[in-house]
Structures are given as C-alpha cells and as structure tokens.
Chain A
Amino acid sequence: MDWLILQFLNGLDKGGAYALIALGLTLVFGTLGVVNFAHGALFMIGAFCAVVFSRLVRLETVTVDPERLSPWGTPLEVRTPMVEVWLGDFGTFLVQYSVPLSILLAIPVMLLIGWVMERGLIRHFYKRTHAEQILVTFGLAIVLQEIIKAFFGANAIPVYAPEAFSSSLNLSETLGIGTSVFYPWWRLIYLASALLIIGLVIAFLQFTTYGMVIRAGMEDRQTVGFLGINIQKRFTVVFGIAAVVAGVAGVLYAPIVSPNYHLGMDFLVLSFVVVVVGGMGSIPGAVFAGFLLGIVESFASMAAVTRVLPAIDQVILYVVAIIVLLTLPRGLMGRKGVMEG
C-alpha cells in the first residue's frame, strides 16, 4: 500500500506545478484571448528570484580566527554571511528561510515583468492571429531564457529549502496511513501552498465583485464594455495575477528541482498539454487536469509499469493529450463554443 500512497503524493507534487502554470495560461487565454508561450519563462524567472535572493543573503565576509587552526596548520578562515554580522539572529533567520522569503522579492518582480509584458507586447497582439501570438511569445520566451542564461550560466543551480523542513515527515505515524511512508516536509509545504494559491485565485474570481466582473468579461467582453466598465484594465490585472502565480510557483518549486535556464520551456510544453486537456480557458479544468496528469505521470514512471511498457513515463502525457483532443474537442471541462476548431 505504501507505494500507492507515495506515488500519489509524488503525482500531486508534480501536478501542483502543472496546475499553477496551467492556471495562469488558461486565465490569460480566457481573458485576453492570447496564447502565451512565454508563460513558462515566468515560472523560470520566479525560480531564479529564489536563486538571487538566496545568493544575496549568503554574501559572505571572511574573517581569520587566530585561535583555531585548519587541518593543515594555517589559521582557520571563518565565513559568515554578512546579514548575520549585521542583523544577528534575524540575519540567521533570513539565511535559513531564504526560499520562502524570496516570495516577497518574487511578487513585485513578477508584477513588474507581467505589467511590462502586457503593456509593451501582448496588448498589441490581441487582434492578431493565434499563430502570430504563439510566434511572438515564443520569441520572447527565447529572449528571457537567454538573458537568464547570460547571467547565471547554463548549469542548474541548487537552492536549499529551510533546514527545518529538510527532513521527512513520517506520514504513517502522524496521519496513520500506510506502514512506513516518509515524505519530505518541503514537498508537503509546497503542495499545501499550491492548493492555497489555487484556492485564493478561484476565491478571488468567484467571491469578489472584481472577480465577478472579470468572469463576466470572459463570457462576453463586449457587453461588459457597454456597461461602462474598463474591462481591458481588469484583464491587465489578470495578466499580472497569472504572472505572480507562475513566479511564486517557481520560487516554491526551486528547491525541488534545481533551476536552470530551460526550466520554463520544459514545463511550458507540458502545461500546454494540461490546459488543452482541461479545456482552453477553463480554470477548474486546468487545475483538475494538472493534478490528474501529475498523478498519471507519477504512476506511469513506476518501475513495474516501465518494465511492461518501456519509456511510457515520458510519453504518457502526450498520449493522454492526443486521446483527449481527438475524443473531446473541448477538453475535459471546456466551455461550449470556445475554441472547438
């Protein structure tokens, strides 16, 4: 039974990342009608916000301790992060919790990038064909990824979760499931935050007046415009939200997968698959399909499965997408009449 629970949790983890990226993609598509191939790059930039922040707080000073000697007889060099020297215990806290704290950096950065992207580029592509939108955002994705590569190099950069969460939780003891199921704390926290973010976004759209207007605009933007509401402005806000969601997802996912410059592209293709399976423009569809495909992928990568069907773990998502696209033109939860071509 243990393996079942573990694979399920692994799937939820992966699915959390898919769902968060797909959520942004589908929001942007549903509101602005833009197919944004640069959305994966936003996820990647979020992950690099974590890298930058951890590096900043870990800038070190080197002092020589004359009392102690290193193994080869020279005075020992003691490296302490500067924030610890300046701020004492609070500094230690900053260093320890650099990844969760970098969300504070990521939110304004992502808002800024999202705003610049929407105002500077995407806005001029509302009326163009989907092919042109795909092409220009694809170009933008290449540019963003190459800029990151120029600054941080091509190698993956490890980012560490807070030490307090580096151990694993014994789920069988605490929750009484399975016999000995251990699961890393950070992944559980990540999963919880993913669910929280998704909940917040859906609550914002469902239970606030602002969100209600946005939903109305998704349904029929012209009529909402006739009612004297500047729907365009609200859609720009939606783009910002999507960028922030992708960025925060990137920050939280950074300790799980060491970020490198093509992280965004790797996730983008799969996230598109998720959006298509869930139904273009459908928010519950994207979330549901994200978790579903994450779990499917996790179970497909089990040794018992790959022994029977080799490499099925690498193609299963595409196979699912192909089957869904051919049998359900709207995806699992797509709205009627939206992009059924």
Chain B
Amino acid sequence: MTLFKSRKDLLYLAIFALVIFAMPLWLKPFGAGYPDLMQRFAIFGVFAIGFNILFGMTGYLSFGHAAFLGAGSYAAVWSFKLLSLNPVPALLFATLVGGVFAALVGVVSLRRSGIYFSILTLAFAQMSYSLAYSVLMPITHGDSGLQLASSDPRVLDRLFGADGTLPNLFGFSMHGMYGFYFCALILIGCFYFSMRLDRSPFGMALRALKSNQTRMSYTGFNTKPYARTAFIISGMYAGLAGGMLAVTDPLAGAERMQWTASGEVVLMTILGGAGTLLGPLIGAVIIKYFENIFSAFHPGRLYETFSFLPEGVQNFFVTIISPFVGEGWHLTLGIMFMLIVIFLPGGIMEGGKRIASALRNRRASGRHLQSRQFEPAE
C-alpha cells in the first residue's frame, strides 16, 4: 500500500502543510497571527474535519458532537493530573475516550437515521451535559471546571523527574508558538487521514451510504458497520480536538458540551462546504476568526473606528452595528448560518466552484461562440 493514491494528492498535502505552517506569516496582516487564535483555528479545524466525515461524507447529522469534544477535554486534563504533563499520552487518552464514548452512543443512535438520529444524538449530548453538573461531579468538578493542581500525583512525571506546572512537550511550553506548531502538525495529520479516507473504498462506501442507503444494502453491503465506523472515527476526531483544547489551556468545563457548541461545528462544516475535504477547515477558521474580531468590539472601539466620519453619521453607524458585535456576536453567527443554508447550501467551496465555472464558461463561450451554436444537443 502506498502512502498516496496519486501524485496530485501528495502535492495537495504538501501545499496544505506549507500553508498551515506559514499561518503566522500570512495571518499577520489580518491581525490574527498570534498563537492563541491560530491554535483555535487548528483545533476547531480538526473538530470540523472529523464532523465532516460523519455529516459530509456519510450524511448523518449529529447534533451532539460537542459531547465527545467535552469528554476528550476531561480525559486529557485527567491524564495531565494522573500521568504526566506531556501532551502525547493526554491526546492518545482523549482520542481513545472520544472513540469509546462515540461507540457507546453509536450503538443506540445509529439504529435510527434521519431526524431521529439527530434527536437521539442531541438527547445524549444534553444528558452528558446535565450529568456533568450532577452525578459526574467527582470527574468533572461541575461549575468550577476541572483544573490542574500542584498536588496532582502525575505518576510518570515523578518517575522520570520531569517538572513544570503547565502542559509541555519535553520542556517546550504548549501555550505559545510551540503549541501552535504542535496543533498544526496534528491538523495536518488529521487532514491527511481524512484525505486517505475520502479516496479509499471505505470512503466510497460512506458516500454511497449518504446518497442512498436502501440501494446500497440491495447491492449486498451491510451498511451498519460503515456508519458505525464513521461515527466512531468522527468521535475520535472530536475527542482529539477536545484534548488539544486542554493541551493549550489545561481547563475543562461542561459548557463545551452544550448543544449550541454542537450547533457551531455543524455551522463550520456547512459554511465551508459539507462533504469537501478543505471546506470544514475553512469554515472553522472563518468562524473562529470572526468570533475573535467581532466579540472584541465594544461601543468605545466602534466610535474610534468610525471617527473619520462626521458625528451624526458616526453615531448612526455605531447604533446600527453595535447589536451585532461584542455580546451580540451570536446574532451575527445566527444570521450567517441562515444566509448560508438559504443561499449556499454547498458552502464556500461550492461558491468558489460556481464562480470558477462561471468564469471558465464565459471565457469558453467567448472563444467558441461561433462553433457552439451549431453543436447538436448532448
């Protein structure tokens, strides 16, 4: 088995890796070139890419994916507390927990499809959310969230004499730029895996499952194992993303499991383009970027921004815009969500394709106008 199906894929991945690693350079002009935000791009990119494997490829709309993310976060923080501050075991553990949790939820919810599947996953996510605040308090620490403490056992660290108070990879702090490169590396790995999946016979089976499950089972496929595997893989992605969140900021809270968080990843995937490889990542970057920009604005800064205008006009603009920024960022998010679903269900990737093909057609029609007129209909 070769690593790449074609040289085109190799080139694709190389360019992808280059663009990701060069993020600090090309994001600087947008004011987004600092590690904290770029880490979030990478983390939610992983989350959305994983969600896309389930929703975009297989066609199952899960409304409870944030539960796996939250579980991954808790798992990673527990690994920091009990084993070691090294992120590698933490992420392995988080991925494992995400996968096992997804397998358990999947056994039940995958027995139904369509809207029932959405409601079942939603029910499970809400259940984990409320349990995190009550029965599971010893594991989740409820409202205050799970945090590191100096009295944690950290068996492996004690054994090897490693020290430090925050997650670090053999001394490299995971908070700043190193944290970003670490996340970027994982993102590239995850992207590669999802690309391989997409090109494989398994990926083909998932697409068949999406387009017509009944017809697929007529051709002799047992569809259930495929859907289940896709669900588990995407749960592992979510667990990994949750673990990465804990690596960059070692704190886990149950609010990550809320169903609005599940809605956010759906939006990322749709915005970028469900079913495409790159789309979910683009969606994640755009949403996290605008969240960061928009939620930072407050009326004072708005006045500053529009200070070049005469006062009356300035006041007008500030009044118009202020409900949409700062606290009101979710309003913008909701409107964006609606506009995308209404006008561009294929997301940004489809929009780009449409523009490209329109341009190509115009060029082609300009060149071949004469000859095309007499072509027979196909």
Contact = CB atoms under 8 A, between A and B. Distances in A.
B337 A138 contact: yes
B229 interface: no
A1 interface: no
B119 A276 contact: yes
B321 interface: no
Interface string B330-362: 110111111001100100000000000000000
Contact of B337 (A35, A135, A265, A319): A135
Interface string A300-341: 000000000011001100110110011001000000000101
B246 interface: no
B123 A321 contact: yes
B123 A136 contact: no
Nearest to A272: B119
Interface in A243-286: 265, 269, 272-273, 276, 280
B114 A325 contact: no
Contacts of A140: 334, 338
A265, A318, A326 interface centre (most CB from chain B within 10 Å): A318
Given A273-B119, A273-B123, A325-B116, A143 B111 contact: no
Nearest to A130: B115
A7 B112 CA distance: 34
A143 B328 CA distance: 10
A136 B124 contact: no
A314 B130 contact: yes
A216 B263 CA distance: 36
Interface string A128-141: 10111011101111
A139 B61 contact: no
Nearest to A29: B115
Nearest to A135: B341
Nearest to B113: A341
Contacts of A149: 327-328
A118 interface: no
Contacts of A150: 323, 327-328, 331
Contacts of B131: 311, 314-315
B112 A325 contact: yes
Contacts of A127: none
A124 interface: yes
Given A140-B334, A143-B331, A315-B127, A132 B341 contact: yes
Contact of B338 (A136, A265, A269, A322): A136
Contact of B130 (A143, A265, A311): A311
B61 A131 contact: yes
B122 A272 contact: yes
A314 B132 CA distance: 11
A140 B336 CA distance: 10
Interface in A89-131: 121, 124, 128, 130-131
Contacts of A131: 61, 118
A124 B342 contact: yes
A142 interface: yes
B259 interface: yes
Given A326-B111, A339-B114, A269 B122 contact: yes
Nearest to B274: A131
Contact of A310 (B113, B116, B123, B135): B135
B108 interface: yes
Nearest to B118: A134
Interface in B98-141: 108, 111-116, 118-120, 122-124, 126-127, 130-131, 134-135
A252 B307 CA distance: 47
Contact of A146 (B118, B263, B331): B331
A147 interface: yes
B285 interface: no
A16 B260 CA distance: 26
A26 to B, nearest CB: 13
Nearest to B329: A146
B277 interface: no
Contacts of A138: 263, 266, 337
Contacts of A143: 331, 334-335, 338
B270 interface: yes
A141 B323 CA distance: 17
Contacts of A325: 112, 116, 119-120
A311 B134 contact: yes
A142 B328 contact: no
B120 A311 contact: no
A288 to B, nearest CB: 18
A329 B61 CA distance: 19
B137 to A, nearest CB: 9
A311 B135 contact: yes
Given A139-B334, A318-B123, A326-B111, A341 B116 contact: yes
B373 to A, nearest CB: 35
A251 B214 CA distance: 46
B297 to A, nearest CB: 14
Interface string B249-277: 00000000001100100110010000000
Contacts of B338: 121, 136, 139-140, 143
B117 to A, nearest CB: 9
Nearest to B55: A131
B345 A132 contact: yes
Contacts of B267: 139
B56 to A, nearest CB: 11
Given A131-B118, A311-B135, A315-B130, 16 more contacts: A121-B342, A134-B115, A135-B270, A135-B341, A142-B260, A143-B338, A146-B331, A147-B331, A149-B327, A150-B331, A269-B122, A321-B119, A321-B120, A322-B120, A322-B124, A326-B112
Interface of B: 61, 63, 108, 111-116, 118-120, 122-124, 126-127, 130-131, 134-135, 259-260, 263, 266-267, 270, 323, 327-328, 330-331, 333-338, 341-342, 345
Interface of A: 35, 121, 124, 128, 130-132, 134-136, 138-143, 146-147, 149-150, 265, 269, 272-273, 276, 280, 310-311, 314-315, 318-319, 321-322, 325-326, 329, 339, 341
15 contacts: A128-B345, A132-B341, A135-B341, A138-B263, A141-B334, A143-B335, A150-B327, A150-B331, A265-B259, A269-B123, A272-B122, A314-B134, A318-B127, A326-B108, A326-B112
